[in-house]
Structure 1
């Protein structure tokens, strides 16, 4: 029986209520959980088999399962209030109200960023944003990374009950993905004539569907210098009604401007760091027992950055609880300053230092044995726009031997400290885990720099691909395959020479893309690999030649035959300079070249070259090889098209190599009879389009019936 009770979100509140944790057994009884289940959960928690978060999650899940559709926030808060857990009840009500508002804010846009529970200050800035909405039709909010621009927009509109939808402005790809998701929710057609609509046309169709509604569009994280992306957003604003549509853009660029002032009036709102008073008030709200001197020192070290302070105080608060009060701002600062000193030589910003501290504390102080740290490390190498939770679980099995059953628990930790975003894709109902690209860079930096004895980034990636079985790639569906391809691209780019990486992994990924029918993805991936191999190993390396050959096959598969022929000939020229003539490698490339000649309708040239190639294969004593059979098939096809009539034979073309024969029977696609070491062509005949007079029984293994 399905229910909409927010079990996960409520759990995150309960674990911070000390009185509730101390009286957890009584609370379990109040929820009506049967004694056997209460005892089982209590024993698991007391012995350390499950965390406090898992205990409350399982407890709530049992309560929800018992009540089914009757399990709701009102009933649950009634239990809390009846037991005098009034603070917990108030927090749950506030959370539920926020969830309802966020759902209303973006019912048609699943990628709303995570809204942090604590938020103070910015009162005057909130008023300015709301005022701008009434007197202008666009606002550009700018400020440095880590200042809290996204959280500010979320909180302001949430408090005002203003409907809005978020689009990801980090890149053209992310913008399209978030816009298409929104369009699908509104049942807009995202294609026109079988092809994807332009972004402007797609955005306009969304606006048309919401005609009559006052819209607020937030384009979040427009930080790059991509002229194409800026032009697309400029077109968005020009094609939308000025009266009913308000644009908000968040950016770190202080000089972002658009050239459509005649159709849209833009206002600018700078979001600075906290004042000393705001920063200190924020920390005091959560860490009430800390002294003012330590609070000020913490905020000074963090530059009064709201998001960094938020991460720090929640880490301090949680560690203080798990260590039963034996942790403070002073402990946190000691570790922070140690990391800061380590990183001073590479001159990183304080936002990076703070993220490194959080990451390191996961490793050394997380009560759940640092499980979140390896998950965060893996997320540093996946695609920044998100990975399906199901894919994360299956991939994580090969990353440091992660316990797959605890991945979701780790995601909860990472979400709590604003390391990641966790949302549901409304189109597929899949949970998507995404991570900020800057945090990915931080984690990679830690792996490379913080362990002087080893480059842990290189080791992590090498061990991952050493463990990864071939059938894992061969059974991957598109989403998982794209993640594996991305991780491999990072590895091959950085460590191609360090570990003498073979080309076989790239071939397996390329082949899987093709088997799935994703020929464009296969082509894009393998050409990216070719660029890396050329840049690092050079044109003459055998690995580079192998990748170039796969590129030729990729071009063949998208019907770009002249380009494929050129690539194959480049490989052949290089191989002839490095290898002796008529070895399997060069002969195989020649077979591909002939195939491309035939595809380009150069049939006479193709026939001449394939006959010569077969003779050279025979001379090299390769009669029983797969290559010779492939050459024979190519010749059959060439001759079939050239003869063009039923009943013609290879012999009639005056080419009948000893001990090999075939007869063409019907259809241009070829119904051909082959023999191995058998009699002359004339013994075979065609009857009704099928072959007779040729049998493979008792003949050599290379004999096949027909194609």
Structure 2
């Protein structure tokens, strides 16, 4: 029987704002009595638990109570009975109604010094649903990590699937070994890496500053983390994503992790990162077979020759193929007229756009040109088809061009977009100031557009331009790079330094 992980179910569920605002009715509809429900909801109301944690714990209890009978059909039936129709429709996208929802059995720590299941993962999200292939690469990574304290560098051009490969690998090893500890850190800059390590340190309940309030150096943080993890003798994998330069302090951080018996997996666009000191895995474009699977599996009733031609046209590049698939699928779903939209139509339009692009004399590599055409085509359609909602989608992309690409909290992004629409560029204001400005606008067109934020955000996700995971937004760096080319906002204004954004984000969100 086919299965789907609980995390994927929660992700789909939280795309419906109605169920988020009425979680009590959802809990009642499940007809279970979770012993820790009151404590959980109190933590949620006090912002000590995220929305995703609230729904995950409730659903985990329900799945375990069903004892192997928690199917997509059963959950959707409950959702529809409670009038959460949109949420049910979202869940049905995960697979056949007979698909079984699986969740780890809830376990209580044997003593207070044990590591909780939640602390065994940090910043982990599942791979995209369209992930296919890469079997040989996954086997190779697994072989590398048979030796402890190994460091593996996975390199490729942007958009070839480095991050998704690592997410798939993490998913596999956590399935095989529930005791596996995996911590995922952002490595764009030294400051971001240290900030990410500090966040995990705090998650473990450890101090990040000394008695005088001075932040601990990163080696101290890693040693403190190690001291808490290693007595449990669980295997520890550290993933450091998007390290595109060997900045000062980076080799020393890697050495600290490996000295602490951690294995390290790095993604980068730089082929010679830590060359000679690490195992190197260089990703190429998808094979013909894998590219074909990506397109064919995502679309129904397609012509074999058209699939092959599309993959060849897009160079078998994972990101380009995924973007094209999302566009074609959205065209087929958007209206009765669109149901006849075929891969051949996309190919024709793509070639027309390519011929038109010559007029603009953009200095792009062949690969960048392909991604540009795919992303630009999608954004143009959204702007023209969605009216004011489409305008909001464009505003969101304008802002996303300038912030860190990973883990932007939705509330924080909303504030930045509000200020952009209101013509008040700069660091995020407190929400009360934004609302005061909105009140002054009354029925002004700008105010009306602000109401489309959630719809505009979900539209970008529908077209695979962003990844919306619970309460955080991420945008692929290549999409970010390409979108910035056409953004008037990005061209004329630097919103806020990325490093400074990293430091302020958590604090700013608390002012909402």
3-state secondary structure, aligned to 1:399:
helix
Pick aligned residue for 1:375 from 396, 414, 418: 396
- Would you say the 8 A contact 2:246–2:274 is kept in 1? no
1:223 aligns with 2:244: yes
1:359 aligns with 2:379: yes
- Would you say the 8 A contact 1:111–1:423 is kept in 2? no
1:9 aligns with 2:32: no
C-alpha spacing 1:75/1:142, structure 2 compared with 1 (3 Å): closer
User: For residue 270 of structure 2, what is the aligned residue in structure 1?
Assistant: 253
3-state secondary structure, aligned to 1:210:
helix
Q: What is the CA RMSD across the aligned residues, in angstroms?
A: 4.1
3-state secondary structure, aligned to 1:146:
coil
User: For residue 35 of structure 2, what is the aligned residue in structure 1?
Assistant: none
- Structure 1 Cα separation of the partners of residues 72 and 29 of structure 2: 11
- Would you say the 8 A contact 2:237–2:264 is kept in 1? yes
1:334 aligns with 2:348: yes
Pick aligned residue for 2:282 from 245, 265, 270: 270
Q: Structure 2 unaligned runs (5+)?
A: 1-5, 33-58, 64-69, 81-88, 107-115, 422-445, 508-512
- Structure 1 Cα separation of the partners of residues 18 and 25 of structure 2: 10
C-alpha spacing 1:347/1:94, structure 2 compared with 1 (3 Å): farther
User: For residue 202 of structure 2, what is the aligned residue in structure 1?
Assistant: 184
- Structure 2 Cα separation of the partners of residues 252 and 173 of structure 1: 19
- Would you say the 8 A contact 1:109–1:181 is kept in 2? no
* Shift of residue 216, structure 1, vs aligned partner: 0.6
Task: Determine which structure has greater relative contact order: mean sequence separation of CA pairs < 8 Å that are 6+ residues apart, divided by chain length.
Answer: 2
* Shift of residue 188, structure 1, vs aligned partner: 1.7
Pick aligned residue for 2:303 from 277, 291, 295: 291
- Structure 1 Cα separation of the partners of residues 104 and 319 of structure 2: 21
1:302 aligns with 2:314: yes
- Structure 2 Cα separation of the partners of residues 92 and 105 of structure 1: 29
* Shift of residue 247, structure 1, vs aligned partner: 1.2
Once the two structures are superposed, residues 117-150 of structure 1 have per-residue CA deviations (whole angstroms, 9 ceiling, x without a partner) of: 1222111221111121114622221221111111
- Would you say the 8 A contact 1:184–1:190 is kept in 2? yes
User: For residue 396 of structure 1, what is the aligned residue in structure 2?
Assistant: 417
1:235 aligns with 2:231: no
C-alpha spacing 1:267/1:437, structure 2 compared with 1 (3 Å): closer
Once the two structures are superposed, residues 443-462 of structure 1 have per-residue CA deviations (whole angstroms, 9 ceiling, x without a partner) of: 221135xxxxxxx7568x6x
- Structure 1 Cα separation of the partners of residues 289 and 387 of structure 2: 33
- Would you say the 8 A contact 2:418–2:450 is kept in 1? yes
1:346 aligns with 2:359: no
- Structure 2 Cα separation of the partners of residues 186 and 275 of structure 1: 41
3-state secondary structure, aligned to 2:238:
strand
3-state secondary structure, aligned to 1:134:
coil
Once the two structures are superposed, residues 279-325 of structure 1 have per-residue CA deviations (whole angstroms, 9 ceiling, x without a partner) of: 11221112131112221221112210122212221221122112231
* Shift of residue 185, structure 1, vs aligned partner: 0.9
User: For residue 473 of structure 2, what is the aligned residue in structure 1?
Assistant: 433
Pick aligned residue for 1:165 from 177, 183, 197: 183
Once the two structures are superposed, residues 517-567 of structure 1 have per-residue CA deviations (whole angstroms, 9 ceiling, x without a partner) of: xxxxxxxxxxxxxxxxxxxxxxxxxxxxxxxxxxxxxxxxxxxxxxxxxxx
Count matched residues: 402
User: For residue 220 of structure 2, what is the aligned residue in structure 1?
Assistant: 201
3-state secondary structure, aligned to 2:325:
helix
- Would you say the 8 A contact 2:389–2:449 is kept in 1? no
- Would you say the 8 A contact 2:155–2:270 is kept in 1? yes
Question: 1:101-120 residue pairs with structure 2 within 5 A?
Answer: 107=119, 110-113=122-125, 115-120=127-132
Once the two structures are superposed, residues 420-448 of structure 1 have per-residue CA deviations (whole angstroms, 9 ceiling, x without a partner) of: 34456xxxxxx343434543332221135
User: For residue 510 of structure 1, what is the aligned residue in structure 2?
Assistant: none
- Structure 1 Cα separation of the partners of residues 75 and 409 of structure 2: 36
* Shift of residue 98, structure 1, vs aligned partner: 8.1
Q: TM-score, normalised by structure 2?
A: 0.67
Question: 1:385-534 residue pairs with structure 2 within 5 A?
Answer: 387-400=408-421, 401=446, 403-423=449-469, 431-448=471-488, 485-486=496-497
- Structure 2 Cα separation of the partners of residues 446 and 290 of structure 1: 32
- Would you say the 8 A contact 2:376–2:483 is kept in 1? yes
- Structure 2 Cα separation of the partners of residues 150 and 423 of structure 1: 15
- Would you say the 8 A contact 2:152–2:265 is kept in 1? yes
Asked which structure has the greater CA Rg, the reply is 1
User: For residue 627 of structure 1, what is the aligned residue in structure 2?
Assistant: none
Pick aligned residue for 2:160 from 147, 153, 178: 147
- Would you say the 8 A contact 1:109–1:185 is kept in 2? no
* Shift of residue 343, structure 1, vs aligned partner: 4.0
- Would you say the 8 A contact 1:105–1:165 is kept in 2? no
* Shift of residue 222, structure 1, vs aligned partner: 1.2
- Structure 2 Cα separation of the partners of residues 290 and 177 of structure 1: 46
3-state secondary structure, aligned to 2:300:
coil
User: For residue 331 of structure 2, what is the aligned residue in structure 1?
Assistant: 319
